[in-house]
A = this chain, B = another copy of it.
């Protein structure tokens, strides 16, 4: 009986560096660490209650992911997304999510479609309850689920990382728009279910156009021009 427990614990073992990385990411996305803020190793180590080594490893990955900028011999600061990169991000995301929608349409099983429909149902429900946070969360889940259904690991991992950044930049306005985007989501899932790749791609593009327009508008007043 003890072996079972140990096995599970062993498999479950998450290296501290990964926990730190996850915590760092969410702290940045949630705005606990603001763009431009300096992140000294000692401070992070203290914040997360670990030694400097795991922190350093997490920082390198966070840099590769674009969440922090590291200047040699000067340390890490939280990256500052500019409005220019917003346009750029959406340009890339448009292509990738369109591809994901097409692949998903071509490969989705009945079970896949059912899981998407279930998410739509939960979304409708949460919208009625005015639970915006939950709606936004389901929104994310839906997108990630479509990526997963696309069955392309490269696409999935790249788009996922991009999606995190989008959330970071637009964490302010995302919740308000979420309910509006739900109608577009239904279109998208319908298209995926139909198995028509062209139609799915079009639906994804329509959705992203609307999202980028709304997000951009929001960014004008929110994050500012720089």
Chain A contacts to B: CB under 8 angstroms: 10, 13-15, 17, 53, 56-58, 60-61, 63-66, 72-73, 85, 88-89, 91-92, 95-96, 98-99, 103, 152-155, 157-158, 162
**With contacts A88-B152, A91-B155 known, what are 20 further pairs, Cβ within 8 A?**
A13-B73, A14-B72, A15-B72, A53-B53, A57-B57, A57-B60, A58-B60, A61-B61, A61-B63, A66-B157, A85-B153, A85-B154, A88-B153, A88-B155, A92-B96, A92-B99, A92-B152, A92-B155, A92-B158, A95-B95
Q: Give chain B nearest CB distance to A203 CB in angstroms.
A: 17
Select A72's contact among B13, B53, B58, B92, beta carbons within 8 Å: B13
Q: How far is the CA of A58 from the CA of B63 in the complex (A)?
A: 12
Q: A91–B99 contact, CB under 8 A? A: yes
